[in-house]
Amino acid sequence: MKRGIKILMIDVFPEHFRRSVETLGVELRYETGQDRTFYKNILPEYEVLILNSAVKVDEDLMQNAHSLKLVLRAGVGTDHIDEEALEKRGIQLISTPGANAQAVGEMALGHLLVLLRNLRRADQQVRQFIWKREPNRGIELSSLTVGIIGYGHTGQAFAKMAAASGCRILAYDKYKSNYSDAYVKESTVETIQKHADVLSFHIPLTNETRHWGCQSFFEAFDKSIYLLNLSRGEIILTKDLPDLLNSGKILGAGLDVLEQENMAKITDEMKDLYLNLMQRENILFSPHIGGWTYTSADNIYNRLLQALKEFYSI
């Protein structure tokens, strides 16, 4: 790689990754925790932007980014990046799909098993010296039909793991066809709504998918279901969950993502909704860590480094 290429890195990345980038003979500036105006002012100097999700990349940020050629996103979701704004400027966007798929698949399975076997409640009881077996009798995954919406990298990883139990798996993906395999049967949303005992979302956030998981959507299921969401929080309309849980339409939920995840800035209305959900023993939360493992991080860093090398043909 020719020297003098200027790269701006604006999320927290480990030192070993930063050193790997610098060995390519580039000029790397590492700036984290700055406000949007700061990044907007310095971005015109740089050819490459490396980030996770600290800053929204939109028309406003791109106004004077005349030197920018490449945006590297450490992760999968790009709902915070205006791809049209990049495309019209000839700026290439590269993310890392599949790098954290194994991690997400494992977390989805973990959430589901905790729900089916009442592990959250059982753990809390034993910690209080309460020993109850019958009230904590569980359900075997092998007896259920699992519905997966979105059969990309993470949906496939989850399906492969769940299939080991012997359960039936139905998958819907609007953008794919002929993908029935040893793990899943290609299905429609309507078929999933008719047969599923479990529903797991593995789709990106778009205008089409935002609030797809609302009351009318879940009421269309023939059975009561267990719900998993390890994609994006806004896919589910949070305000509809209490009624669905109260009615028993949703038997339990594993939520790795929330509609509003910045706990310091949530609205009073959303805080009340979260408190309602937090009081329920059939809800399992985790702080958007489905794909957050040491292994997945190394996968992502290696992908970014390789993308940088390929873009500059070294």
Whole-number pLDDT of residue 3? 56
Q: How far is CA 37 from CA 251, 275, 281, in A?
A: 45, 34, 43
Determine the average pLDDT of the residues in 235-245: 98
Whole-number pLDDT of residue 4? 79
The arrangement of strands across the sheet holding 225-229 comes to 185-186, 168-172, 145-149, 198-201, 225-229, 250-255, 283-285
> Which helix (H) or strand (E) covers residue 165, if one does?
none
Helix, strand and coil content of the chain, in percent to the nearest 5, comes to 40, 15, 45
pLDDT at residue 140 tops 60:
yes
Determine the average pLDDT of the residues in 42-46: 95
Whole-number pLDDT of residue 313? 85
Q: Please give the mean pLDDT across all residues of the chain.
A: 95
Q: Helix (H, G, I), strand (E, B), or coil: what is residue 142?
A: helix
Q: Active site includes 111?
A: no
Q: Which one of 261, 269, 281, 310 is the catalytic residue? A: 261
Q: Which one of 232, 234, 259, 303 is the catalytic residue? A: 232
pLDDT 10s digits, 259-278: 999 999 999 999 999 999 99
Q: How far apart are the first and last CA of the chain?
A: 6
Determine the average pLDDT of the residues in 200-220: 97
Q: Active site includes 140?
A: no
- What percentage of the chain carries pLDDT values higher than 90? 95
Are 293 and 103 within 8 A, CB to CB? Answer: yes
Which pair of tokens denotes residue 297?
A: 């991080």
Which pair of tokens denotes residue 83?
A: 């791809």
Determine the average pLDDT of the residues in 2-21: 90
Whole-number pLDDT of residue 79? 85
Structural domains present in the chain: 6-99+294-311 (3.40.50.720), 101-285 (3.40.50.720)
Partners of 228 in the β-ladder: 200, 254
Whole-number pLDDT of residue 53? 86
pLDDT 10s digits, 118-134: 999 999 999 999 999 99
pLDDT at residue 2 tops 70:
no
Q: Active site includes 280?
A: no
Whole-number pLDDT of residue 134? 97
Residue 175's pLDDT band, with cuts at 50, 70 and 90, is: very high
Separation between Cα atoms, residue 120 and residue 199, nearest integer Å: 20
pLDDT at residue 159 tops 50:
yes
pLDDT at residue 55 tops 50:
yes
Whole-number pLDDT of residue 48? 97
Nearest residue to 149 (alpha-carbon basis) of 102, 99, 63, 209: 209
Tell me, rounded to whole angstroms, the distance of Cα 71 from its chain centroid.
20
pLDDT at residue 56 tops 50:
yes
Whole-number pLDDT of residue 1? 44
Q: Which one of 120, 168, 280, 288 is the catalytic residue? A: 288
